[in-house]
Amino acid sequence: MTLFQAFFLALVQGITEFLPISSSGHLVLFQKLFRITKAPVLFDVLLHLGTLGAILVFFRQEIISLAKDWGKGKKVWLLVIIGSIPTAILGFFLNSKIEEIFSSLILAGIMWIVFGLLLLLTRVIEAGSKSLEKKNFRVMDALVIGFFQAVALFPGISRSGATIIGGKIRRFTPEAAFLFSFLLAIPAILGATIFKLKDESGAINPVYGVIAIVVAGVVGYISLGLLQRTLKSNKFCSFGFYCLAVGFLALLLGSRL
């Protein structure tokens, strides 16, 4: 892996991990398109730690508030744990197929197109939910949103986008869907990091490690702000056009590469 590849992968991670355009799908696409060699496991772990840091910093006030008000915080974190169950179950069953799944550009293209259409449909969901904004968060809400997160294990489906859509379907305000989506991301990223660490072998250039954490973290923080503004301006569905375009591109390249 070169210095440019390290910077490029960290940049892509920071942008695509949080915007609803699928980081895993872009990883498959760029590896095929630019023949980028698979990054060392430790580098990938550091990328995830960088984006996790972005979440903790961006939502620091909400996390501190939940920690101080433990009566309320305990319920929220319990629902986060419940919402993580579908991902854990599906991840367990897909474990033996992970390499195959993440090497298929055709699969990523199909999932991108499906997800792009779903993003465009959120405009309809939003129109029907204006008078039904939910105030109380229940177990079924956590499970539904958790199911959407589990589906995002497939390349081409964005974890952040899928969970926010799940929140919209459960009639949550954009702010509530946004917050829970990224509270749910904390155990998801930690779980993925621990899972990858078990396969870790060898070391990487320390400079590459710093680039992974800093670039992914800083760009991820900026991406979170952009996503938040997009949700507030009701332009969340516009990412669907991008997903459709890149999905058809992936199908075209997948048939030739």
pLDDT value, residue 34? 76
Cα 250 vs. chain centroid, distance in angstroms? 19
Please state, in angstroms and rounded to a whole number, the distance separating the CA atoms of residues 172 and 144: 12
pLDDT value, residue 201? 54
Please state, in angstroms and rounded to a whole number, the distance separating the CA atoms of residues 197 and 60: 26
pLDDT value, residue 130? 47
How confident is the prediction along the chain (257 residues), in pLDDT tens digits per residue?
Answer: 788 888 998 999 999 999 999 988 998 888 788 777 666 778 888 898 999 999 999 999 999 998 888 877 888 899 999 999 999 899 888 876 766 677 789 999 999 999 999 999 887 766 555 444 555 788 999 999 999 999 998 999 999 999 999 998 888 888 899 999 999 999 988 887 877 776 655 577 889 889 999 999 999 999 999 999 999 888 899 999 999 999 999 999 988 76
Please state, in angstroms and rounded to a whole number, the distance separating the CA atoms of residues 218 and 15: 10
**What's the pTM?**
0.89
CB 177 within 8 A of CB 33: no
Any idea where the domains of the chain sit in the sequence?
A: 3-28+41-254
